[in-house]
Amino acid sequence: MNRLRVVVCGTNYGRAYVRALSRLEDAFELVGFLARGSSRSHQIAAENGVPLYVDVREMGKNVDLACAAMSSSAWPVVSKLLERGVHVLCEHPQRSAALMQALRLASQRKINFHLNGHVGNLPAARAFAKECCRLRKEAKPIFLQALATERSLYGLLDILKISLGSLDPCRMKVLHRGNRFSLLHGTLGFLPSYILVQVSGTRHGRHLPDGSPAYLFDHRVAVGFPSGVLTLMAMSGPVVWNSAPVGTKGGDDSLWRSLYDQGTRTRDDLGKQRIEANMAALEAIRKAILCGQKTDTQQPSHILEVSRAWESLCRRLYAA
């Protein structure tokens, strides 16, 4: 199959896509960067031997796919790319109104728009979601507890959508608001839920930068069932099952077991997995472009449901 010609938009997180593309050279060809024109952007483009564009209109017609690794403030760039008939793989988080516009444009141009939730493609999250779906066939979950930062909240909701099937209705309110943590309580998809979110700003303030050491965790989620509790301890895992004490068959039965622990111990281990997650996102949109195959997580219903739940929680977190 033909190699897809790719432009990476943004040279901060965009470098993560460059690493993923370099490992998929048989399927993709990096043909340029689109950025604001900083000295860093010029340097990165030169290092990769490709041109730097500062405007979509500068791009030629030799672009099949754009990896939009920019903040939501650069959304007009995504719209212009779609209007030109370029397939787009876009970073999260994004607001539902923007996503509806993108999906509509993609449908009109008969091209693909994918949103990269990223953390749902990591091995530990996949293991958690698979086991959660299996347990749901045996019994309905009865509660949800989670930790997240304002940066990881969108990705957490994406994992929950995959694991629980639905986030609707999303009816959460702030139970406690502090300087560093806010506690949300209510229901997600009729499931009684508590989510503790580490926050760094207000509606009018600035968030801590992505990857700041001031964030104390990435995310953690526990889903309770009549027979026990399934927990994704962190982005890197492990996934742990704790049996309900009264549900064990005998005194020698194990009360807990690790369902996913493949040896992710270091930042390097997790970094490699994150590159592989972006590779999976690239391969998914390539399959959609060449074969018309779209995964469940790229269906408009999934993308919009996660975004709307995220918007709902953010409105409550940053309400005056």
Digit-coded pLDDT (tens) for 151-204? 999 999 999 999 999 999 999 999 999 888 999 999 999 999 999 999 885 455
Inter-residue contact 23 to 271 (CB < 8 Å) = no
User: Would you give the distance in Å from CA 119 to the centre of its chain?
Assistant: 5
Closest-CA residue to 29 (of 77, 56, 59, 65): 65
CA atoms within 13 A on the CB side of 292: 2
The predicted pLDDT at position 233 comes to 95
Is the link from the previous residue into 169 a cis peptide, with omega within 30 of 0? Answer: yes
Dihedral pair phi/psi, residue 151, rounded to 5°:
-80, -30
Using pLDDT thresholds of 50, 70 and 90, give the confidence band for residue 301: very high
Q: Is 309 strand, coil or helix?
A: helix
What are 56-110's pLDDT values in tens digits? 999 988 899 999 998 777 789 999 999 999 999 999 999 999 999 999 999 999 9
Q: Which helix (H) or strand (E) holds 4?
A: strand 4-9
Dihedral pair phi/psi, residue 293, rounded to 5°:
-95, 120
